[in-house]
Amino acid sequence: MNLGKVYLVGAGPGDPDLLTIKARDLIAAAGCVVYDHLVNPEILRHAAPTAELIYAGKRPGKCAMRQETINALLATKSTEHDIVVRLKGGDPFIFGRGGEEALALASAGVPWEVVPGVSAGAAVAAYAGVPITHRGLGSSVAFVTGHEDSSKTESSVDWERLALGVDTLVIFMGVGSAPRIAERLMAHGRSGKTPAAVIRWGTYEHQECHVTALSELARLIESRGVTPPAVIVIGEVVRLREKLNWFGPAADCAELIGTPDYAPA
């Protein structure tokens, strides 16, 4: 039996202009596109009119398909189409379960390829005017999930090391767990005055950004009614937002800079 190839494609952080050329061309050539919740609908317009479009998105409390079902679907579609695109927000191998799907495809003997995308971790921060590394402020950065596997009996995240050993933390899927994240970081020595930015719908025209101190992070999210999707950036580099905000309203992030625990540069 001849099998097509499954391409695990990164759709980027949201702004359709950040889609890579290779991703665009594969979407246009695909007979089937299996796409996630955070894929901008504008990107799907690159698909051929005859292409089969299948939604397989996951949201908090809502799941269109279980991961096992998606794995099986990709294998099945490879028997029906020469090119199958598995389209994921950001980069497939950064908290996108791309590795899990690649392993499943390899195990099933299905040809596959990964097409990296612009990661939300870097792009969303950049669109908020926050360089995640900066000489004198941030020499190291870590991407951290705020939503670990629910089957784990304890966290596998080394919060002690992250608190004191990494300059900039970029938290994915961390809105719901922000109180616990802040508590753990401060319990392991991170100053409560460390600036933190919460960036919602990053790179979209309706992007929102709020800055506060780490100690006030949970209260900010609750008081502003922040809901996913959002990326949280914690570190001294957030201070640069005051001078480097280039996208969106100039004041959308300044209202909390004067809070008691936030010490401007």
**Would you name the residues annotated as active-site residues?**
36, 58, 173
Residue 96 near residue 10, CB atoms below 8 Å: yes
Fill in the amino acid letter for 253: C
User: Is-cis flag, bond preceding 228, omega within 30?
Assistant: no
Residue from 196, 209, 215 nearest 261 by CA = 215
DSSP for 75-135, please give it.
HHHTTT-SEEEEEESB-TTTTSSHHHHHHHHHHTT--EEEE----HHHHHHHHTT--S-BT
Structure tokens, 229: 């999707």
Which amino acid, 84?
Answer: V
Backbone angles phi, psi at 169, to 5 degrees: -110, 130
Q: Where are the alpha helices (DSSP H) in the chain?
A: 21-29, 67-77, 98-107, 120-127, 159-165, 178-187, 217-223, 241-244
| Opening angle at CA 141, ends 196 and 208, nearest 5 | 35
